[in-house]
Structure 1
Amino acid sequence: MRLRMGLVAAWVLVSGPAMAEAAKPVEPLDLYRLEQPLDPQLSPDGRTVLVLRQTRDIQTDRVMTELWLVPVPGSGAGDQRRLLVGADRAPSGARWSPDGSSIAFVGKDGSKAQIFLFSVKDGIARPMTALKQAPSSLSWSPDGKKLAFVSLVEAKPDDLYKLPEKPEGANWAAPARVVRTFPYRTDPDGWLTPGDNQVFTLDVATGALTQITEGPGDWGAEDDAPSWSPDGTVVLVSGNPAPDAHLKPLQTDIYAWPAAGGGKPRQVTNADGFENSPTLSPDGKTLAYVGWANKKVSFQRPDMFVASFSATSPAVAARNLTAKLDRPVSQISWAKDGKGLSFLYQDVGISRVGFAPLAGALSVMTPEVGNTRLLLPSSGGSYSTDGIKIVYPSVEPDRPAALALWTQGKETLLWDMNAAWRAGKTIGKLEEIWTPSSADGRKIHGWILYPPNFDPNKKYPLALDIHGGPHSDYGPMFSITHHLYAAAGYVTLFTNPRGSIGYGEEFANLINLCYPCQDHDDLMSSVDAVVARGFIDTNRLYIGGGSGGGVLSSWAIGKTNRFAAASVKRPVINWTSEALASDIGAVVGSYWFAKMPWEEPEKYWARSPLSLVGNVRTPTLLITGENDFRTPMGETEQYFQALQLQGVESAMVRLPEAGHGFGRPSQWLAAILSTISWYDGHVKVDGAQAK
């Protein structure tokens, strides 16, 4: 593992010194051959890692998962083995019991997701629930006798109308949906069943269920599991019981509910902002949580707070432990001695595990935690630690995620599940670059991925790929999308323009109320810097990106005709329709703009790529899932029709049943390969668009 300081440009060699003659470039079907370790969990005794092995099945075109146990070297924990939990269970969210004898996980029981309990000794998995709605966010009680989890409780059927009784054998249409609030459909879940998330407990001995939260509040979430007090009497969870909570998606507080059920909650935090991920210290006296104060800006940096806690009064004197870090924080976990907490944070294109003592300076526990997305090189990932050992996915530019152990300042790969695949591949180099922006001289971080066997004396096409978010990032990690571009002969450029995370809150909010804006200048400056090196064919410059990258790529071709072609994926084209038709309308109208679209329509239009479509001459490919509710298909349709009406060469790729993330593996390949084909088919002639 190399400690990437991210301060100077550096070459990172990602191909072996002497690849075998049979080595091949990355190819499309490799997407089905690659595997990933997800959600690693150290056992309570620290001897074994529970990990989710993710694969992609070429026959069913589905993502598959298995649970595996991987021993820590020298622990005497036995052999690596797959847990036989039953075919097609699709396990997820697996968690060790406090004594390590059992593993709870969510898996399929027929067509529905249920909670299962796996006995480590007997090797048997048994279903524990028969829920109507899927459970998530499993959390063991300290004594191991109960599991807390989140599941939807459906609202009563709407009584707006009642049809007359249909005749026997009649085949009437499906019932109409009556919608009374929003969002009523979300990505990737689709149409929402009316109701609220509630927290339940499951008695693992008897199977008895107890609902401990009630009423509106949408208690808990997939990334915000309920948290127990050390004595097991209280469950902490975030929520917002206000009647207008749907209008304030970034407003939550932490509540303490009696674990026995039937009681009333006590509100623990009461700030204007977002508080979640509550966790109590081992002695139960200190509450830690992740949150931010509501500044009404587009990027709100999540920090880690601690406050004194008692069973009878609100938490007081919250103290920000990570304010000076100036990086977004998540996945907080108490040290066993209660003297501090570990956490994950994004930093200049990568993720790290840090440690924050209750008194003293922050420290870095690992130099890097790899992402597990495979498709795009965004930072992220997950980790588990016992205070001495840390397990996590480790990623390099030439290597998809491997399960790794960090201890005593050293990384050990526990399971490099793609080693054989990598040995048969020839992969290009990755170079880190920093480029002054023409807007204001700020240094913009980026990377150049070169084709295999790159020759600087030749001319190559350049593909600029822009990340989404916009408050997200790219980093020096393996991405099959970019390696397929490189294998097709493209020099691939990806950067973190202003608005990206991991460079401080001020940098992220340079696009507040100004997106798109000077982020466009950042991107063009990076392109200029690569072109200036002399190995780029300026008649073959290409631009593309997805989601927020779709916004910026469509904006760019309205600002310049320098690109031979564009691939605009799942974009926002019209901010008014995005605010009024997407599942994030409340965020758009409350944080990305100062007012609603009917109050300041001119500002929505001024920042919409559709406002510049009259300038576009660049041949444009559009790619969007037909079930995308984040940047709905209507955005793509507006842009396509506008391009067609003014005679700009354009094509629209519609992915059936796909959401914002494109879903199935073949749909990702369709997006990648159609982009490469579109680029291949468009070359400028002496700087002019080819007819």
Structure 2
Amino acid sequence: MPELTADLIVDGKVPRNPVISPDGRWVVYPAHPLSKAGEHPVSALWVVAADGSAPPRRLTAGTAADTAPKWSADSRTVYFLSDRAEWGKRQLHRIRIDGGEAEALTTWKSGISDHLPLADSATVALTAVDEPTEEDERRERERDDARVYGERVRNARLRLLSLADKEVSTPVGLPDRHVTHLAQRHDGGALALLTQVDPEVSSAFRDTRVHLFDLETGEARELGGTPASPSALTWWRSGDEWRIALLATTPPTLVGGEAVISLDLSGEMRNLSAGMPVCPQSLAAPATGGLLALFADGLDTALYRLSGGEFTEVSTVDGFANSLTTSSSGEVVAAVMSTSYQPIEVHAGPQAGPYARLTDMRPELAGITWGRQERLAYKASDGLALDGLLVLPPGKTRADGPFPLVTIVHGGPYYRQADELTVHWVPTGQWLAAAGFAVFMPNPRGGSGHGHEFAASVAGAVGIDDWTDIVTGIDLLVAEGVADPERLGIGGGSQGGFMTAWAVGQTDRFRAGVMLAGISDWGQMIGAGEMAEYDGTLGGSTGWEGVGPHRHDALSPVSHASKVTTPVLILHGEVDPNVPLAQGEYFHRALLAHGVEHEYVIYPREPHSIAERAHQLDVLRRSRGWFTRWLQ
């Protein structure tokens, strides 16, 4: 039997964002390596028959970052972005699915941000920042590059590419705002644009709007504002009326469950998923009318169809599913899916299922003996229904316990642990189980899969009820004889890293902790993180309300560092914009000041998600070694 090794995990590939052809015959998808072997990321485009009648075949070589595939209206050509001409600068290309070489369509000096082939088959809508002027080039050449807030903002603007002469034009009349998403009516009508005030990530929480652009007249108008952090812009038709749908945080909050928001052409907004105990995560609209959505439903995923103004469940997918796409008729849908012992693969089928697996991206995992993965359902201390997963060491059952138990907390907090194969470059269930640990992966409140109120309950209260949700699950596993109370560990990344730092300051029960890209101080997050408004809502205050003490001080792990006795492994990317390195540095200095056993590791060049192969291997081996040192 093959052994699960760190190399085996990071050397795999994963399909992302599949797109089904309008005629429903083909699915194109990028295949992304899980780790970056060289300086630049690479990915290849593949195509597969939607009915499984032909195996996948590669469209592009994968020597550059080939991403964002989209179909032509006749389902014969795939348009995509690639940086093959200049690393890091994407240009638009197209390739026929019946063979041949890819053709470059743009040479825009600043690169292309996004694209959308239009229904007229003669034009492609693009988003791109302005090309550098002579003054821009002089400033760069002479290092006259002082940055003044609000000046020289590099907003991505709408551009139109004529396929006849490959000329790019810039429509006038649109506001000077950053365009993040494009969508066109299926009948070839107006373009919808999702915009924010500037490219800063935090702007998605402050000021986002939908604009309409008439391709025939060149007229533009603002349709209305949106709730925070919108995405998945989609035209859909209800009877004879065209409307726009998108995903956004349930208004009026900045922290909470996502909602399906619909705007009619007068700008009137409606929350189509209000009150649902599930959370939308992907939208698709057939040209024939109606709206489809994938909803996170506890540990599983469900496909819903809008009917009579309300969503009705069409089918249920065991485990994880996302990136929904549909044919023009709506008869065939596709998505990426993963179950307990099967990695993420592309699946397709009729709306009501069954969904056939079309890809086999991880053949190297065949024959691995996985640890038994169990679903958990339990009640919080206040009676709230909770769920999670338990992974036991391979070949073991509960009767072989108690085991050393590692609790791995997911990020977000608006995320979830679905019942999927738990193998990734971060410390995950199967990787730790293979070393003899039982692994508990809880879904505490604040996450997705249980509706808006469940997710919103952590606003200004991170580390309170969500922490007790985790403790309750650990206590249950101890009481059932699964977990050895003298050998408990905790770890996680991002929000899971915060929860690790928080946990070791609240109790001395844990013998080891692994804090990966974790938050130690909410005040610093507001001052240096890329989502200040969101983080301020999570932490409960910003610091500029007046002289403290502030709510976020009480909820910051560094405030409780004097009580820490647990050995902690701190792992952090050096150029993380989401959770800046100062967060790990602050906790390291606090533990140093209090004489707490710990190890502090910085990964050069790495952002929030560790990408380089050697670094991913180090995260896996070092974290498992840390738990082995202290728990076994």
TM-score, with structure 1 as normaliser: 0.82
Residue matched to 1:19 = none
Deviation of 1:142 (Å): 1.2
The question of 1:522 aligning with 2:469 is answered yes
Correspondent of 2:396 among 454, 465, 475: 454
Deviation of 1:675 (Å): 1.1
Deviation of 1:288 (Å): 2.1
Partners in 2 of 1:126 and 1:537 — Cα distance?
60
Deviation of 1:30 (Å): 0.9
Correspondent of 1:280 among 235, 243, 251: 235
Residue matched to 1:138 = 115
Q: Deviations over 1:442-494 (max 9, x none)?
A: 22211101111115234421110001111111111112232111111110100
Partners in 2 of 1:392 and 1:107 — Cα distance?
23
Structure-to-structure mapping, 1:42-441, within 5 angstroms: 42-56=20-34, 60=38, 64-73=42-51, 80-83=56-59, 85-86=60-61, 88-108=63-83, 109-111=85-87, 112-153=89-130, 176-180=145-149, 194-212=153-171, 217-221=176-180, 224=181, 226-230=182-186, 232=188, 234-241=190-197, 249-259=205-215, 263=218, 265-270=220-225, 277-281=232-236, 285-290=241-246, 291=248, 294-299=251-256, 301-307=258-264, 309=265, 314-316=266-268, 318-338=269-289, 340-357=290-307, 359=308, 361-368=310-317, 380-385=322-327, 386-407=329-350, 409-418=353-362, 420-438=363-381, 440-441=382-383
Deviation of 1:356 (Å): 0.7
Structure 1 unaligned residues grouped into runs of 5+: 1-22, 167-173, 183-192, 372-378, 685-691
The question of 1:466 aligning with 2:435 is answered no
Q: 2:272·2:310 contact (CA, 8 Å) conserved in 1?
A: no
Deviation of 1:216 (Å): 5.9
Deviation of 1:25 (Å): 3.5
Deviation of 1:86 (Å): 4.9
SS at match of 2:615: helix
Q: Deviations over 1:275-322 (max 9, x none)?
A: 554433468831122245642352253223252x3xxxx334x44332
Q: 1:369·1:380 contact (CA, 8 Å) conserved in 2?
A: no
Deviation of 1:204 (Å): 1.8
Specify the code of the residue in structure 2 equivalent to 1:658.
E
Specify the code of the residue in structure 2 equivalent to 1:203.
S
Q: Deviations over 1:316-345 (max 9, x none)?
A: 4x443322434333433323322x111222
Residue matched to 1:16 = none
Q: Deviations over 1:24-43 (max 9, x none)?
A: 34211112443322222222
Partners in 2 of 1:243 and 1:304 — Cα distance?
22
SS at match of 2:194: strand
Deviates more, 1:397-406 or 1:554-563: 397-406
Deviation of 1:531 (Å): 1.4
Using a 3 Å threshold, how does the CA distance of structure 1 residues 576 and 328 change in structure 2: closer, same or farther?
Answer: same
The question of 1:29 aligning with 2:4 is answered no
Partners in 2 of 1:245 and 1:126 — Cα distance?
32
Partners in 2 of 1:624 and 1:207 — Cα distance?
44
Deviates more, 1:271-280 or 1:442-451: 271-280
SS at match of 2:584: helix
SS at match of 1:288: strand
Deviation of 1:220 (Å): 2.8
Partners in 1 of 2:600 and 2:228 — Cα distance?
40
SS at match of 2:43: strand
Q: 1:63·1:664 contact (CA, 8 Å) conserved in 2?
A: no
Q: 1:405·1:412 contact (CA, 8 Å) conserved in 2?
A: yes
Q: 1:147·1:201 contact (CA, 8 Å) conserved in 2?
A: yes
Q: 2:115·2:126 contact (CA, 8 Å) conserved in 1?
A: yes
Residue matched to 1:490 = 437
Using a 3 Å threshold, how does the CA distance of structure 1 residues 275 and 458 change in structure 2: closer, same or farther?
Answer: closer
Specify the code of the residue in structure 2 equivalent to 1:502.
G
Q: 1:322·1:356 contact (CA, 8 Å) conserved in 2?
A: no
Specify the code of the residue in structure 2 equivalent to 1:40.
P
Using a 3 Å threshold, how does the CA distance of structure 1 residues 271 and 619 change in structure 2: closer, same or farther?
Answer: closer
Deviation of 1:244 (Å): 12
Partners in 1 of 2:342 and 2:40 — Cα distance?
22
Deviation of 1:625 (Å): 0.2
Aligned residues, how many? 619
Partners in 1 of 2:374 and 2:55 — Cα distance?
39
Specify the code of the residue in structure 2 equivalent to 1:110.
E
Q: 2:201·2:531 contact (CA, 8 Å) conserved in 1?
A: no
Using a 3 Å threshold, how does the CA distance of structure 1 residues 205 and 406 change in structure 2: closer, same or farther?
Answer: same
Q: 2:92·2:104 contact (CA, 8 Å) conserved in 1?
A: yes
Structure 2 unaligned residues grouped into runs of 5+: none
SS at match of 2:18: strand
Using a 3 Å threshold, how does the CA distance of structure 1 residues 396 and 333 change in structure 2: closer, same or farther?
Answer: closer
Q: 1:298·1:513 contact (CA, 8 Å) conserved in 2?
A: no
Q: 1:154·1:194 contact (CA, 8 Å) conserved in 2?
A: no
Q: 2:502·2:557 contact (CA, 8 Å) conserved in 1?
A: yes
Deviation of 1:73 (Å): 3.5
Q: 1:198·1:218 contact (CA, 8 Å) conserved in 2?
A: yes
Q: Deviations over 1:126-145 (max 9, x none)?
A: 10001222323321211211
Q: Deviations over 1:247-282 (max 9, x none)?
A: 673431211123368x55211124665655443346
Q: Deviations over 1:606-657 (max 9, x none)?
A: 1111111110001111000001111111111111111111111011011111
Using a 3 Å threshold, how does the CA distance of structure 1 residues 433 and 515 change in structure 2: closer, same or farther?
Answer: same
| Percent identity over paired residues | 23
Correspondent of 1:585 among 527, 532, 545: 532
Partners in 2 of 1:569 and 1:150 — Cα distance?
34
Specify the code of the residue in structure 1 equivalent to 2:8.
D
TM-score, with structure 2 as normaliser: 0.90
Partners in 2 of 1:162 and 1:415 — Cα distance?
49
Partners in 1 of 2:135 and 2:40 — Cα distance?
35
Using a 3 Å threshold, how does the CA distance of structure 1 residues 128 and 435 change in structure 2: closer, same or farther?
Answer: same
Q: 1:292·1:302 contact (CA, 8 Å) conserved in 2?
A: yes
Q: 2:257·2:448 contact (CA, 8 Å) conserved in 1?
A: no
SS at match of 1:354: strand
Deviates more, 1:671-680 or 1:280-289: 280-289
Q: Which has the larger radius of gyration?
A: 1
Deviation of 1:603 (Å): 1.2
Partners in 1 of 2:111 and 2:173 — Cα distance?
17
Q: 1:56·1:62 contact (CA, 8 Å) conserved in 2?
A: no
Q: 1:57·1:64 contact (CA, 8 Å) conserved in 2?
A: no
Q: 1:102·1:117 contact (CA, 8 Å) conserved in 2?
A: yes
Partners in 2 of 1:459 and 1:79 — Cα distance?
45
Specify the code of the residue in structure 1 equivalent to 2:591.
L
SS at match of 2:291: strand
Partners in 2 of 1:495 and 1:53 — Cα distance?
30
Correspondent of 1:607 among 547, 555, 559: 555
